[in-house]
């Protein structure tokens, strides 16, 4: 069956404080977006891509898209709205049982091994799943002034990364349910959880970082210069 990739890339990236949205910041001569799509394509050369871009995006160039089957989808107000638009664009195109993986454009360092393993796990995982890493740091709950209120046990705590996904039918049901019940979504797994499903955590490399803050860019640059993907 067909594998669908949804890449939300319609964010403004305000936390970077840069003039360009973070997906267009340069790493070794190419924008973050090009690196991310190259990784996805290397792992899934036969996948079809739906790329969420802001309607006013003046930076995008199709030369950065290595997929043969791809389309541009308008971004929405929030990340979840962008993904919703991409799911809607697949109506009548994707089959119910096709797997859909959603990957943040801002995660160019995702490893090929992890991508392939996630796909294999999701082929048999009715509640969908996501790449994730167990929390290593001690976690603190803070008050509004930045003082520690208490320590949160890190037992059973994970960082949710991307890709995240499920079959087309399950993902559409989850997003429709979240919309109807006004659940705020920052990822696909939260939509699946709200539906009562238990998405599978697939342990992935910790360096699948999301470029968010300025220091992340130099870290990503170093990671991407390493020979092995
Ligand atoms: O800002 P943040 O890092 O949380 O965004 C996560 C991803 O969602 C990024 O890939 C960003 O481009 C995308 N996004 C989007 N549409 C929005 C907001 C964010 O596609 N309205």
Q: What is the CATH number of the domain that holds 204?
A: 3.90.550.10
Instruction: Please tell me if the CB atom of residue 22 comes closer than 6 angstroms to any atom of ligand 1.
Output: no
State the distance from the centre of ligand 1 to the C-alpha of 124, rounded, in angstroms. Answer: 28
* Rounded distance from Cα 107 to ligand 1 centre (Å): 11
Model pLDDT, residue 50? 98
- How far, in Å, is the centroid of ligand 1 from the Cα of 123? 26
Domain holding 90, by residue range, is: 3-225
53: Cβ below 6 Å to ligand 1? no
**What ipTM was estimated for this complex?**
0.96
For the CA of 14, the nearest atom of ligand 1? 1
Give the model's pLDDT for residue 198: 97
Angle CA 128–131–135, to nearest 5: 125
The secondary structure of 183-207 as a DSSP string is ---SSHHHHHHHTT--PEEEE--TT
In the predicted model, is pLDDT for residue 229 greater than 90? no
Residue 12: the pLDDT is 81
Whether residue 6 is predicted with pLDDT greater than 80 in this model: the reply is yes
32 Cβ inside 6 Å of ligand 1: no
Which of 31, 29, 50 is closest to 103 using CA atoms?
50
In contact, 121 and 92? CB cutoff 8 Å:
no
DSSP character for 78?
Answer: S
Long-range pairs, 66-73, Cβ under 8 A, ≥24: 66/37, 66/38, 66/41, 67/5, 67/37, 67/41
| pLDDT value of residue 59 | 94
Q: Do the Cβ atoms of 187 and 199 come closer than 8 Å?
A: no
Over residues 126-135, mean pLDDT: 97
Dist. CA 64 → ligand 1 center (Å): 18
Residue 19: what pLDDT? 80
Evaluate: CB of 107 within 6 angstroms of ligand 1.
no
Residue 228: pLDDT band with limits 50, 70, 90: low
- Distance of alpha carbon 64 from alpha carbon 49, whole angstroms: 13
pLDDT, mean over the chain: 95
- Distance between Cα 53 and ligand 1 center (Å): 10
Contact between 225 and 119 (Cβ < 8 Å): no
Given a cut of 70, whether residue 211 has pLDDT beyond it is yes
Residues in the chain: 229
d(Cα 20, Cα 29) in Å, to the nearest integer?
Answer: 15
Residue whose CA lies nearest to ligand 1 atom number 11: 11
For the chain, percent of residues with pLDDT exceeding 70: 98
Q: 167-198: per-residue pLDDT in tens?
A: 999 999 999 999 999 999 999 999 999 999 99
| Mean pLDDT of the region 135-164 | 97
Atom of ligand 1 at shortest range from CA of 210: 3
**What is the pLDDT, as a whole number, of residue 15?**
72
Task: Identify which has the larger pLDDT, 23 or 19.
Answer: 23
- How many domains are contained in the chain? 1
The answer to whether 169 and 136 have CB atoms below 8 angstroms apart is no
Nearest CA to ligand 1 atom 7: 104
Whether 3 has a pLDDT exceeding 90, the answer reads yes
Please check the confidence at residue 37 and state whether its pLDDT lies above 90: yes
């Amino acid at each position: 069956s067909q594998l669908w990739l949804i890449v939300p890339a319609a964010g403004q990236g305000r936390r970077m404080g840069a003039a360009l949205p973070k997906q267009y910041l340069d790493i070794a001569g190419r924008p973050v977006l090009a690196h991310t799509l190259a990784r996805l394509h290397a792992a899934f050369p036969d996948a079809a891509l739906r790329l969420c871009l802001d309607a006013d995006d003046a930076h995008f160039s199709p030369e950065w898209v290595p997929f043969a089957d791809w389309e541009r989808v308008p971004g929405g107000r929030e990340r979840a709205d962008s993904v919703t638009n991409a799911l809607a664009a697949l109506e009548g195109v994707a089959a119910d049982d096709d797997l859909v993986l959603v990957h943040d454009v801002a995660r160019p360092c995702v490893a090929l091994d992890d991508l392939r393993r996630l796909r294999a796990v999701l082929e048999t995982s009715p509640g969908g799943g996501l790449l994730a890493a167990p929390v290593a740091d001690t976690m603190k709950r803070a008050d509004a002034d930045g003082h520690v209120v208490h320590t949160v046990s890190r037992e059973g705590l994970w960082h949710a990364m991307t890709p995240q996904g499920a079959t087309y039918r399950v993902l559409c049901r989850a997003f429709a349910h979240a919309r109807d019940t006004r659940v705020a979504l920052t990822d696909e797994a939260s939509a699946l959880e709200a539906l009562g499903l238990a998405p599978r955590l697939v342990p992935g490399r910790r360096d699948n970082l999301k470029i968010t803050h300025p220091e992340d860019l130099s870290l990503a640059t170093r990671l991407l210069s390493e020979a092995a993907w």
